[in-house]
Structure 1
Amino acid sequence: MERSQHITRLALVMMILLLLTQWGWSQNSYRDSIYKAYSRGKMDKWLTIMQVCEKNADQHNLNQQLELLSYYYGYTAWLIGAEKYDTAEVYIDKSEAIIDDLLEDSPENPTLFAYKGAYIAFTIGITKLKAIYLGPRSMKFINKSLELDPENIQGNIEKGNSMYYRPAAFGGDKTEAIDYYLKAIKSFEKQGLVVNNWMYINTMTALGQAYEATDQVQLAKLCYEKIIRIFPNFMWVEDELYPDLLKRHHLK
């Protein structure tokens, strides 16, 4: 009888530990640490956190893999901006392998299609000559994402990025990009995905830049002020973009 009770208690403890482990991932999903690294421009810390996430993420758990992909995505974009192309290609390959594996089990997931289009666009960022044939392929996946879910956050971000960075001669339109960024931001806020979310603040920053690029200077100013109010100590906006905007346009 005592042995039976001991086994029962042991099984209960194991079940609780398993649940706590799963809860721990969702509550400690590296988001706060990634945000802090991003807000201070500490990409070395981002890399360290990302590598821990990479080690612990369950290959068969869609949400954990999507989270890892978001960190690869941010880091790859930074690498390309820093012209560290060889390393960027490593993370493009890693990400595309994850996306293709996940699409086998989730063939109608709009976020995966958005990421697939984004990583093709990253390749264009490394080799501009590939834009002629990779550009339409990237847009095909991004459009597929929005066909599956017009409100999809990542799909709207990528459509906005495509409209912003694509030359006008090839269909780019910075004013249209604003509409997609606003739609993504609205979805972030509606779903409560704002606090310490690096991708939300990044999209807000992209919106501010798009406003200025389309001569909507007051809206750009208000956008940056909202960022500073919600996310104090975000260095890129607080120390660079916002004061530069004020100086360029003689604003106070």
Structure 2
Amino acid sequence: MERQKYITRFVIVISILLFSVQLGFSQSPYRDQIYKAYSRGKMDKWYELMHSCEKNVNSNSLEEQLELISYYYGYTAWLIGAEKYDTAEEYIDKSEKIIDKLLDESPENATLLAYKGAYIAFTIGISNFKAVYLGRRSMRYIDKSIELDPENIQGNIEKGNSMYYRPSVFGGDKTKAIKYYIKAVKSFEKQGLVVSNWMYINTMTALGQAYEATDQIQLAKLCYEKIIRIFPNFMWVEDELYPDMLKRNNL
């Protein structure tokens, strides 16, 4: 099974369906179907749902615009993983226009700041040579997000992604990435944002991969088994990551 069928590294990267209140999250008409599309690797279905959300989003609702941004985020990450860079750039542009407008209105919104840093990182993912001048800019937004709200889920996810994927010579540290992924996972669980939440399961998967990358194999095994137990039809872990890890480590 090709990994590009799933939301790949930059989603482990990726986004969160974090709304301003839990009630808004539970009432989203797209959440369950987006999760099902993600869990089965059906990005054509994701695309349909995303554009339905786009057509119906209330431009006066921060909550609904954050939801749309999260869908753009997941789709952009998949496009980059599939090397569909031209289309990815279109969604980066669409997303940043919304984010910049919202930041003008709410310059200290930690979730928006984290998204801003993430979308700059997407641009680096398309053109690595841009890391020289965009890398620090991305981190300024992410660090400010965590400074304003140390418990912010999106901020911790993006900090974890940065630590995981950045080369060690530029400050990357996979062990430190684990700390931020764990913090995000705990916040999801504390806030009750677990059921049918594609970003929760994606962050759990990132944590499992980080454990494996740092040779903490038993912790990786437990993490993947938790995912399979809670989300029994998540193909990426159940059919690929977990069995491959067992085979590599003779478990």
**Could you say which residue in structure 1 is the equivalent of 2:110?**
110
Unaligned residue ranges in structure 2 (runs of 5+):
1-22
Per-residue CA deviation, residues 68-112 of structure 1 (Å, 9 max, x unaligned), is 111111110000000000000000000000001111221110000
Q: Tell me which residue corresponds to 2:140.
A: 140
Which has the bigger relative contact order, CA under 8 A and spacing at least 6? Answer: 2
Q: 1:115-194 alignment to 2 at 5 Å?
A: 115-194=115-194
SS state at 2:101 partner? helix
Output the TM-score relative to the length of structure 2. 0.90
Report the Cα distance in structure 2 between the residues aligned to 1:44 and 1:176, rounded to whole angstroms.
35
Q: For structure 1, list consecutive stretches of 5 or more residues without a partner in the other structure.
A: 1-22
Check the 8 A contact 2:24/2:63 in 1, yes or no: no
Matched letter for residue 54 of structure 1 = E
Range 48-57 or range 27-36, more displaced: 27-36
CA root-mean-square deviation? 1.2
What are the residue-to-residue correspondences of 1:18-33 with 2, within 5 Å?
A: 27-33=27-33
Runs of 4+ in structure 1 over 4 Å off? 23-26
2:100 counterpart letter in structure 1: D
Q: Helix, strand or coil: the match of 1:83?
A: coil
Moved more, 24-33 or 92-101: 24-33
Change (3 A) 1:199 1:100: same
1:50 aligns with 2:50: yes
Q: Distance in 2 between matches of 1:159 and 1:115?
A: 11
1:185-237, Cα deviation, whole Å (9 max, x unpaired) = 00000000000000000000000000000000000000000000000110000
Deviation at 1:24, TM superposition (A): 9.4
The 10-residue stretch of structure 1 (155-164 or 101-110) with the greater mean CA deviation from structure 2? 101-110
TM-score w.r.t. the length of structure 1 is: 0.89
Q: Distance in 2 between matches of 1:243 and 1:133?
A: 39
Q: Is 2:73 the counterpart of 1:70? A: no
Number of equivalences: 229
Cross-structure match for 2:3? none
Amino acid in the other structure paired with 2:115: Y
In structure 2, do the counterparts of structure 1 residues 198 and 24 end up closer, same or farther at CA, with 3 Å as the change threshold? closer
Residue type matched to 1:248 in 2?
A: R
Distance 1:150 1:185 in 2: 14
CA distance in structure 2 between the partners assigned to 1:172 and 1:123 by the alignment? 18
Rounded Cα–Cα distance in structure 1 between residues aligned with 2:64 and 2:143: 24
CA deviations on 1:27-80 (whole Å, 9 max, x unpaired) are 243010000000000000000000000000111100000001111111100000
